Chain A
Amino acid sequence: MVPLSHYLALGAVVFVIGAAGVLMRRNAIIILMSIELMLNAVNITLVGFSRQWGDLTGQVLAIFVITVAAAEAAVGLAILISLNRDRSVLNVDEVNLLKW
C-alpha cells in the first residue's frame, strides 16, 4: 500500500521541477513542456487524493486537466509556429519588440 504522503510528495516535487523549468529556461517549447509537467504533477496529486477519499472526483478532474492540457498545447504550439514563420525565434528573450 502506497501511503498518500508519497503521492503528494511526488506531485510536489514534480510541480516544483516544472515551475523551475518555466522560470529558468529561455526556450519557449521547453517552457511549454515544463507547464505540462506542472499539470501532470497536479494529476498525480489528484489521483492520490481520489484514492484516499474513495471517490472519483479527483480522477474526473484529472481527465479534465488532460483535456485542458491538450487544448493549451494545441493553441500554444500554433502561436509558436505563427511566431516562427518569418523569423526563427524560439527563445523567449528574443521576443523583445515589446519591453516588459
Chain B
Amino acid sequence: MELLFFYLFAAGIIGASLLVVTRSNVIHAALLLVLTFFFMSGVFVLAGAEFLAVVQVLLYAGGIMVLYLFSIMLMNAEVSVRLRQFHRQSFFTIVVSLILAAEIWWKVLGGGAAYPAFKGFSWTLGTTPGNVEALGSILYTKYLFPFEVASILLLAAMIGAIVLAKRTIDR
C-alpha cells in the first residue's frame, strides 16, 4: 500500500519535473513545479516527516511559487516563449546527464550492498520521528545556532531583495 503510493508520487514527481525543464512557457513550467512540490510533500508524509510535508506546501507551494508567478507576470514572460529555448550544446548535456543518472541509479539501487554503513540497521528502522513537538524542541535547543544564522540569512535576503527590486530610491 505504502509502496504503491510511493510509486505513484515518484512517477508524478519525475513526470512533472521533466515537463518543468522542457516546457517553453514559463507559467506552465511554474505550475508544473507546484505540482511536483505536492507530490514531494506526499513522499515526505510517507517518510514520516509530516511537519516537513506541510512546510513544503505552505512555504514552497504557497510562498515561493507565488513569488515566482508574480515575478514572471511582472516580467512579461510571454515574449520569451517564441525564442529559442535550449542551448546549442543541449544534446551533449542530455547525453552526459543520462550517463550520470544511470551511474547514480546503478550505485544507489545496488541496494544494501552499496551501503555497508547500514548493515547494522534493519530496513524498517525508521521510527518516523517527524512529529512537530520533537522537531520543535530539537530546533530550539540542539540546532539553535543554525536556526539563528538562518534568521540572519533571511534578513539579509529580505533587505537585499528590496534594494535590488525597488523601482527608484529617492535621493
The residue in chain A whose Cβ has the minimal distance to the Cβ of B130 is A59
CA distance A32 to B83 in the complex (A): 18
Give the 4 A-B residue pairs with the shortest CB-CB distance, closest first. A21-B21, A71-B157, A51-B126, A12-B104
CA distance A52 to B48 in the complex (A): 11
Q: Are B79 and A88 in contact (CB under 8 A)?
A: yes
Binding site for A on B (CB under 8 A): 2-3, 6, 10, 13-14, 17-18, 20-21, 23, 26, 29-30, 33, 36-37, 40, 43-44, 46-49, 51-52, 55-56, 59-60, 63-64, 67-68, 71-72, 74-77, 79-80, 83-87, 90, 93-94, 97, 100-101, 104-105, 108-111, 115, 118, 121, 123-130, 134-135, 138-139, 143, 146, 150, 153-154, 156-158, 160-165, 167
A-B contact pairs, 5 of them (CB 8 A): A23-B93, A23-B97, A37-B17, A77-B68, A81-B71
CA distance A34 to B93 in the complex (A): 14
- A41, chain B: closest CB distance, angstroms: 9
Binding site for B on A (CB under 8 A): 1-10, 12-21, 23-27, 29-30, 32-34, 36-37, 40, 43-44, 47-48, 50-56, 59-60, 62-64, 66-75, 77-82, 84-85, 88, 90-91, 93
Contacts of B85 in A (CB 8 A): 25-27
The residue in chain A whose Cβ has the minimal distance to the Cβ of B33 is A33
Q: Are B48 and A51 in contact (CB under 8 A)?
A: yes
Q: Are B157 and A60 in contact (CB under 8 A)?
A: no
Q: Are B109 and A5 in contact (CB under 8 A)?
A: yes
